[in-house]
Amino acid sequence: MKPLYKNKHFITLEDWSTDEINVLLEKSSALKKKFKNNEDTTYLKNKSAFLMFFEQSTRTRNSMEAGLAQLGGHANFLDTATMQISHGETGRDTAVILSSYGHGIACRNCFWEIGNKFIREMADNATVPVMNLQCDLYHPMQGLADLMTIKEVKKETKNLKVSIIWAYATSHKKPISVPLTQSLLFPRFGMDVTLAHPKGYEMPEWVIDKAKQNAKANGGTFNVTNNMEEAYKDADIVIPKNWGSWASNTSDDVIDEALESNKHWKCSEAMIKLAKPDVAYMHALPADRGNEVDDSVIDGKHSIVYQEAENRLHTAKAVMAMTMGDK
């Protein structure tokens, strides 16, 4: 009898039940404790995974590489610019071959209307688990670490007021995958979620519909507003982060009139003061300091961004141990 989660793909948390996510969180917490105590966790001894990246990464790449080493395995980093994919090899052929070489495939592909389809094409043809390291729609690794962090800091998630807030940034046109994942995930744990953004930065309609369904089924709420102050007011958790206008504007242009007209969408001390006294500030990182957020906030007493980032290691290990493991 194969292990319960063996070869289960990790493409979106929507494919994992609430009970299964709780098991992932329990495993993550156990691995975190063992890491702190320097205990052996070689559950994936002699196993290998291929990490395919179509773009840059710091937390995701290093949490996967370090995590697999701590589990006793080996990660092969693959810059897709040096692979035959760059010459047109299909996701199908890549998945079939890499499946025969190791025990897991992980991929980051954030190209709009391409990334998720590519990862699913690999999953349809792989004989090992395929893990989504961020695509144009989902970032399940980040979502799981965010949920773990919220549970650590706030203990209870029921009726916790969590605000996912668009913020001004100019570094690049960012995917919608982080706020999209949070919008779908947090209501499943009974949170009262507010999604706030200027006009032009909407999520796809299906996301809003599904988030509201998730909230209704689990005793939470999900609301959308174009008022930044409303989102900060009395919030327990604030997550101010930029995302691109991909749902309405597929241009790759980073700076345009819509972006520049919303410079005031910034996480400042004044905004933080609207929230609850013990509000926690979160961000997937890297933050566009000075644009998305003031240094005094991200480096201040309300910030839990480094705890959030650290949890990326332990949640990544949990996903790999459960989907690639034999126990």
Q: Residue 318: its pLDDT value, please?
A: 98
- Are 157 and 279 in the same domain? yes
Alpha helix segments (H runs only) across 102-194: 115-125, 140-154, 177-185
**Are 318 and 31 within 8 A, CB to CB?**
yes
- Are 319 and 187 in the same domain? no
Query: Is 67 among the domain residues?
Result: yes
Largest CA distance in the chain: 58
**Rounded distance, CA 318 to CA 324, Å?**
10
- Are 131 and 154 in the same domain? no
- Are 201 and 283 in the same domain? yes
- Are 261 and 284 in the same domain? yes
Query: Is 270 among the domain residues?
Result: yes
Q: Residue 235: its pLDDT value, please?
A: 98
Give 209: exposed, middle or buried? Use CB within 10 Å, 0-12, 13-18, 19+: exposed
Query: Is 4 among the domain residues?
Result: no
Q: Residue 326: its pLDDT value, please?
A: 86
Query: Is 278 among the domain residues?
Result: yes
- Are 93 and 234 in the same domain? no
Residue 81, domain CATH: 3.40.50.1370
Query: Is 1 among the domain residues?
Result: no
Query: Is 7 among the domain residues?
Result: no
| pTM over the 0.85 mark | yes
- Are 110 and 223 in the same domain? no
Range of the domain at 230: 141-308
In 3D space, the residue among 67, 65, 59, 93 whose CA is nearest the CA of residue 77 turns out to be 65
- Are 167 and 296 in the same domain? yes
Q: Residue 2: its pLDDT value, please?
A: 58
12-21 own/partner pairs: CB under 8 Å, 24+ apart = 12/132, 12/137, 12/138, 12/140, 12/181, 13/138, 13/140, 13/143, 13/144, 13/181, 13/184, 13/185, 14/138, 14/184, 14/210, 18/188, 18/189, 18/218, 21/144, 21/147, 21/188
Q: Residue 47: its pLDDT value, please?
A: 98
Q: Alpha carbon of 127 to those of 8, 104, 116: distances in Å?
A: 10, 9, 18
- Are 227 and 106 in the same domain? no
Neighbouring residues of 268: CB distance < 8 A, sequence distance ≥ 6: 293, 294, 297
| Tally of domains in the chain | 2
- Are 181 and 265 in the same domain? yes
**194 beta partners:** 163, 223
- Are 218 and 89 in the same domain? no
Query: Is 5 among the domain residues?
Result: no
pLDDT tens, position by position, 154-203: 999 999 999 999 999 999 999 999 999 999 999 999 999 999 999 999 99
- Are 148 and 294 in the same domain? yes
Query: Is 86 among the domain residues?
Result: yes
Q: What is the mean pLDDT of each run of 10 residues along the chain (327 residues)?
A: 84 97 98 98 98 96 98 98 96 98 98 98 98 98 98 97 98 96 98 98 98 98 98 98 96 92 97 98 98 98 98 98 91
